[in-house]
Structure 1
Amino acid sequence: MYASQFPAGTIIHDTTLRDGEQTAGVAFTLDERLAIARSLDAAGVPELEIGIPVMGAQEQEEIRAIARLGLAARLVVWCRMHEADLKAAQQCAVSTINLSISVSDQQISGKLCRDRKWVLSRISSLTATALDMGFEVCIGGEDSSRADLDFLLRVIETAERAGAKRFRFADTMGQLEPFATCNIFQKLRSSTSLELEIHAHNDLGLATANTLAAIRGGATHANTTVNGLGERAGNAPLEEVVMALQHLHDTRTGVAPHHLFQVAHLVAIASGRTIPVNKSIVGEAIFTHESGIHVSGLLRDRSNYQNIDPKELGRCHQLVLGKHSGTTAIRWAYQKLGVTLDKRQVECILDKVRRHAARTKRHPTADDLVRFLEETFNLETQMACLLVDTSYELTEQ
C-alpha cells in the first residue's frame, strides 16, 4: 500500500537474548541461548543482541560461546555509558556495542541525578573511548520517546560527531502511537546521516505498529524479540514485524518466514512462556477454520479467506467441525472418511456435531463422526465395510 515510502530493505536487530531475557522470570541456560542464536541465524536474522557483559564472568563466557559459533549474524552486546561496561565488553570477542544512556529529562534527573550537559559530555567521551578500544559504536537513547525533541537532535548530533554509527530510539515506556512515531522519525531522518533504530515496547499493544511507522519515517533498523518477549508487555515481535513488512509494504528483511514457527516454539519452551493459540503468525490455531461461511469459502477458493498463505510459514489450513460449522464442512469431513451423505443425513449430523461441541468444548474426532452416523442411522453393517482411518484429522492438504 505504501511501499514507495519504505526503504528497499530493513535490518532486523533481534534482542531476544538480551531484552527478551529481561522478561520477568525468564532465564535461558547456555544451551538454550546457543540454540536460539543458531535458530535466529538460520532464519536469516542479520543482527543479534546477545547479552550484557557487565553482568559478570558467566555472562561474558556465554557471550563468547555464542561468538564461537561462527554465525553469519552481526553480534552486538549492550552496555551502559560506563567505563566498567566497556572493560567487560572487551572480554567478549564481540566488535559492536550498544552504549545506552537516558535522554529524557525525567530519567536524566530522576534516575541519573545529572543534567543534559553531562549526558552530551558522556556520549562524546565514552564513544571516543569505545572507538579507541576497537568497537563499532551504536548509541542507545533510553526513554527517547519522552525526551525533548530538540535535545534528542543534539544527542544524535553529538553521537554522530563523536564517531558513532547508529542511534537507537527507545520507546522505553511504550507510550508512542504510530502517527507521532512516523513524524518523529521523519524529523530525525532529515537531521542526521546516522543509521536509526527503533526499539518499541508493547505496553499499549502498539509495538509492531510503531516499528512500522518508524521505518516509514526513516528508521533503517528494527529491534524485535521472538514472541514479543521483553520488559513488562514486551517488545515488537520478530514474526509480526517481518511478515507485516513483507505483506503490507513489500519490504524484505532477509528473514525466512518458514523458520518463524520453529524459532517461536523453541523460544517459548526456553522461556516458559506459552504461545497463545491465536497469536498472530506463530499461533497453533491461526490457520484453523470452523465457521461454516469461512469453510465453505475456503473449499471453493482459498483466496476467499486467505491473506497469508500458510505454506509461506511451512504450515497448512486445518478445517475442524464445531458449533459454527455448516453443511459444506459436514459433507467434506465425511467424504474424507469415504462416506457420502444426502441432505437429510447432513442436517442430522450437523445437529449432533453442534451439540457435541457445546457439551465437550472440543471438535469431534473421526471416531466421534463414525459414532454420530451409527447412532443416527443404525448403519453398523455399512460402517463395518468401510476402512476408516481412526487417526483422522480434518487437515486440508
Structure 2
Amino acid sequence: MNVKFNKYSKMMEIEFQFRDVQDPNLFRNIFPYNEVPRLVFNHRVVPMNIPEKLYITDTTFRDGQQSRSPYTVEEISKLFDLLHKLDNGSGIIKQSEFFLYSKVDREAVVKCMEKGYDYPQITSWIRAKKEDFQLVKDMGIKETGILVSCSDYHIFKKLKMTRSQAMEQYLGIVSAALDAGIVPRCHLEDITRADFYGFVLPFVNRLMELSRQAGLPVKIRACDTLGLGVSIPGVALPRSVPQIIYGLVNYGEVPSEWLEWHGHNDFYRAVTNSTTAWLYGAANVNTSLLGIGERTGNTPLEAMVMEYVQLRGDTGGMDLRVITEIAEYFENELNYEIPPRTPFVGRAFNATRAGIHADGLLKDEEIYNIFDTTKILGRPPVVVIDAHSGLAGVAAWINSYFHLKGDMAIDKKDERVARIKAWIDKEYENGRTTVIGDSEMEQLAKEYFPELLSLRQSRVE
C-alpha cells in the first residue's frame, strides 16, 4: 500500500492504485438490472467545500440535440444570442458546447464564433479518436470535450477493451490535444457506475500528471450518464455525488475550476445533484436549455441560474428576464411545447386555480407567489378559472389580466363578479370539464366591465 502527501488535506494518505481486472465490476449488489437500483449506505460523510466562483456551462447544441430534431444554423445562432444575453457580461454562463460532425454543426460554430462574444465560450465534443481530434484543430477551437468512458459497463461491454487498454487510448488522445495547445475536457462517462478507487482516481491522477508536464489545464467532467447519482449524505460509491466530487478534488487533485458535473434526470435528481456538485467542490455544472437532452433530459440551465441566485444572494449580473424570452422562442418559433407547469418557463408555472389561493393573491400576491415573478422574470402571476375558482378567482383573474392594482382593483364582492361566477357555475353544471379560457373571460369582462376593454386597448396601443 503506497502513501503520499496530499497538498489539499496537508496529510499523508493512501495512494489509490489502478486495478486492471479480468471481469467487469458491474456492482450487481447496487445495480441488479432486473430490479430498481438500490441505495446502499456506507455512512461516510465528507465536508462541503463550495468554490469561490460558480459557473454554468451549456450543452444545448450537443447533448440537447440528441433527443430532438437538429437545430438549423439560424436557430442555433438565435439561441446562442439568448445565452449571451442571459449571461449579460457576467461570465457565469461560461461555455457552450457544439458537435462538429455535420456541415450544419460546423456552419453554426463559425456563425457563433463570428459574433465575437466573450461568453459563452465555444467548445466542442469528440470521441477519443485521432480522426475526431482533427476536426477540432481545423475549426480553431481552443477547448474540446473528449469522451473517456470510465465504467466497466462501457469499457468491457461497449468498447470491448480492458481497463488498461482504455486508459492508454484515452491518455494518447489527451496528449495529442495538449501537444496541439488545445485544452482537453475529459468526459468521464458513466461515473456513477464506475470503480472510483480502482479506475477513476488512478486515471485522473495520470491526467493531472499530463497537465503538469504540458503546463495546460486538463479539465474533468464527471458524467452522471444515467442519472444514478445521489446527493444524500452517507450513500456509498459509486452513486454518491458528494464523495465523487470530494474525491476528485482531494484525491484526484483536480482544481475546482477545472471540475464540472454533467447530470441527467432519470431519477428526478438532476438539479439537486448539480447543486450538490457545486457545494462539494465542482465550480462548473453542465446544463441544457429547458433540460432538453437524452431520455429524461439534462439539468435545465434556467434551474441552475435560479440555484446560483439562491446560493449567492444575487444574480451575479445575469439578466433573468431573458429566461422568459428563451421560453417564448422555443414555443413560438421552434414549436416546442413546454409542459405548462414547468418551473420558471411553463405558461402556468405561477398559475393558481384554487379559490382560497386566488383570495390570497387578491389580498397580496406575495402570499402565494414564489417571488416577484413580474419583476424578475417578466411573468405576472396567473389565475386559471374553473369550477373551483370562486368569486376570488374571478376577481383575481380580472385584476391580473387588466393589470389593476390599488384603487383600480376589482373587489370580489362586486356584484358583476357574482354574475360572471354564476355564468361559470352554470357551464360546469351543464357538464363542462375544461377550464374557462382567457378569450371567454375577456368576453365576459367586455359584457360586465366594458370600461376595462378600452383600458387594455389603450395600453396595447
Deviation at 1:368, TM superposition (A): 2.4
Deviation at 1:64, TM superposition (A): 2.0
Which of 345-354 and 71-80 deviates more?
Answer: 345-354
2:443 is the alignment partner of 1:367: yes
Structure 2 counterpart of 1:193: 254
Q: Which runs of 5+ in 2 are unaligned?
A: 1-47, 212-216, 233-239
Deviation at 1:272, TM superposition (A): 4.5
Q: Which runs of 5+ in 1 are unaligned?
A: 374-382
Select 2:267's aligned residue among 200, 204, 214: 204
Deviation at 1:283, TM superposition (A): 0.7
Structure 2 counterpart of 1:12: 56
Cα 1:56/1:283, change in 2 over 3 Å: closer
Structure 1 counterpart of 2:84: 41
Matches within 5 A, 1:1-397: 6-23=50-67, 25-44=68-87, 46-53=93-100, 55-73=101-119, 74-150=121-197, 151-163=199-211, 164-179=217-232, 180-191=240-251, 192-194=253-255, 195-247=258-310, 250=313, 255-268=318-331, 272-310=335-373, 311-331=375-395, 349-356=420-427, 359=432, 361-363=434-436, 364-369=440-445, 387-389=451-453
Calculate the aligned-residue CA RMSD, in Å: 2.9
Deviation at 1:359, TM superposition (A): 1.6
Deviation at 1:134, TM superposition (A): 1.9
The residue identity in structure 1 corresponding to 2:162 is D
Which one has the bigger helix percentage?
A: 1
Structure 2 counterpart of 1:380: none
2:248–2:254: 8 Å Cα contact kept in structure 1? no
Which of 121-130 and 9-18 deviates more?
Answer: 121-130
1:6–1:251: 8 Å Cα contact kept in structure 2? no
**TM-score normalized with structure 1 length:** 0.85
Give the Cα separation in 2 of the matches to 1:360 and 1:392: 29
Give the Cα separation in 1 of the matches to 2:348 and 2:117: 32
Give the Cα separation in 2 of the matches to 1:104 and 1:119: 11
Give the Cα separation in 2 of the matches to 1:157 and 1:48: 25
The residue identity in structure 1 corresponding to 2:115 is L
Deviation at 1:49, TM superposition (A): 3.2
Give the Cα separation in 2 of the matches to 1:334 and 1:234: 37
Deviation at 1:41, TM superposition (A): 1.2
Structure 2 counterpart of 1:376: none
Deviation at 1:254, TM superposition (A): 5.0
1:67–1:93: 8 Å Cα contact kept in structure 2? no
Deviation at 1:320, TM superposition (A): 4.2
Deviation at 1:269, TM superposition (A): 5.5
**Count of residues paired in the alignment:** 377
Deviation at 1:96, TM superposition (A): 0.8
Q: Secondary structure at the match of 1:235?
A: coil
Q: Deviations over 1:91-132 (max 9, x none)?
A: 212111111111101100111111111232233322221112
1:296–1:328: 8 Å Cα contact kept in structure 2? yes
Give the Cα separation in 2 of the matches to 1:250 and 1:161: 37
Deviation at 1:146, TM superposition (A): 0.9
Cα 1:89/1:104, change in 2 over 3 Å: same
Cα 1:332/1:263, change in 2 over 3 Å: closer
Q: Secondary structure at the match of 2:61?
A: coil
Cα 1:318/1:86, change in 2 over 3 Å: same
Cα 1:340/1:99, change in 2 over 3 Å: closer
Structure 1 counterpart of 2:39: none
Deviation at 1:184, TM superposition (A): 2.1
Give the Cα separation in 2 of the matches to 1:50 and 1:241: 17
Give the Cα separation in 1 of the matches to 2:455 and 2:432: 22
Give the Cα separation in 1 of the matches to 2:262 and 2:146: 14
Cα 1:268/1:121, change in 2 over 3 Å: farther
Identity %: 25
**TM-score normalized with structure 2 length:** 0.74
2:73–2:107: 8 Å Cα contact kept in structure 1? no
